[in-house]
Amino acid sequence: SQTIHQWPATLVQPVGSPLSLECTVEGTSNPNLYWYRQAAGRGLQLLFYSVGIGQISSEVPQNLSASRPQDRQFILSSKKLLLSDSGFYLCAWSPTYNEQFFGPGTRLTVL
């Protein structure tokens, strides 16, 4: 069966510090991968998606970047965090172009 992991689970970082969030998927190959940010108790905003190694598409201009160095690894990064980067970050994978399956999320607080 397939599983998706995210770490860290929680992170508190000062403004201006770098960021690296990692997502890995097990039990499948060549998945479509997605990064979302979620405001408290609300809908999800798609940040990046990837259909293959090294292929990244950005949905919204922002202070973040993404990379896919391996087939089942998706990384969300920032060189300098802003206060507005705080939020709940979710990684998802999809075997098709319909449903997506989400990881447990990372709660990021920028102080």
Partner 1 sequence: TQLLEQSPQFLSIQEGENLTVYCNSSSVFSSLQWYRQEPGEGPVLLVTVVTGGEVKKLKRLTFQFGDARKDSSLHITAAQPGDTGLYLCAGARAGGTSYGKLTFGQGTILTVHP
What is the contact surface with partner 1 in residues (CB under 8 A)? 32, 34, 41-46, 49, 51, 57, 59, 90, 92, 94, 96-105, 107
Q: Which residues contact 98 (CB under 8 A, 6 or more apart)?
A: none
Beta carbon of residue 91, minimum distance to partner 1 (angstroms, whole number): 8
9 DSSP 8-state letter: S
6 DSSP 8-state letter: E
Token pair, residue 30, equals: 């060549």
Toward partner 1, which CB reaches closer, 4 or 82?
4
Beta carbon of residue 104, minimum distance to partner 1 (angstroms, whole number): 5
| Length of the chain as a residue count | 111
Beta carbon of residue 94, minimum distance to partner 1 (angstroms, whole number): 5
- C-alpha 49/C-alpha 66 separation (Å) is 9
Toward partner 1, which CB reaches closer, 79 or 97?
97
